Structure 1
């Protein structure tokens, strides 16, 4: 289990770079609210993360049903964290750090025990 978590975390580093870059482009560059910037950036990054984790971390087949489950569960978290940040008027970096920390743990558990079991 430690090996798969470390692989998941490695994919997460790349996923986080993709997510943060897209978030700042959408929020600071385009002017989207944090909630929509976060969920949109997540949608971009999760596509990479899903396929990388299916193949490399969990050695599992990717399927549309698995993608929807992965996207839906983590997308809800992404939108919720962005929405909370909007409601509390937190700086954008706080939303990103909160989501990154929460999604590392919940994303791994969801992937290992639900999506790629």
Structure 2
């Protein structure tokens, strides 16, 4: 159990850098380009997820990069990012709350997805 929490701290550190990248991309796409929250959140997620998948594979899980693992992670978490953005649009929630909610969900669900599906067999 201690090893999992150790892995979570590394995952959270990579997640912090991921979050900064995601939020910057989201607000550029939302404010400067004028895209809706769902599209902005999905596009920002794809950029940030590519960055964090690579770092987590190497530093958190000590695993080889896998195209299938990357696609599974990108599709499942990308769908979540789109849904959260869609709900933000639908309920007219401020973009800051949308990305904050997604970031919290992504931290927990993304770690569990990585641990038990994407990098299965590679304990942190």
Shorter-chain TM band: over 0.9
Match status 1:34 vs 2:24 = no
Q: Does 1:46 align with 2:52?
A: no
Q: How many residues align?
A: 117
The runs of 5 or more residues in structure 1 that have no matched partner are: none
Partner of 1:14: 17
3-state SS of paired residue (2:93): coil
Structure 2 unaligned regions, length at least 5 = none
Aligned to 1:89: 92
TM-score normalised by the chain length of structure 1? 0.99
> Which structure exhibits the higher relative contact order, with contacts defined as CA atoms closer than 8 Å and separated by 6 or more residues?
2
Q: Normalising by the residue count of structure 2, what TM-score does the alignment of the two structures yield? A: 0.93
Runs of 4+ deviating beyond 2 Å: none
Offset at 1:63? 1.1
Give the distance between the partners of 1:74 and 1:52, measured in 2 at CA: 17
The alignment yields a C-alpha RMSD, in angstroms, of 0.4
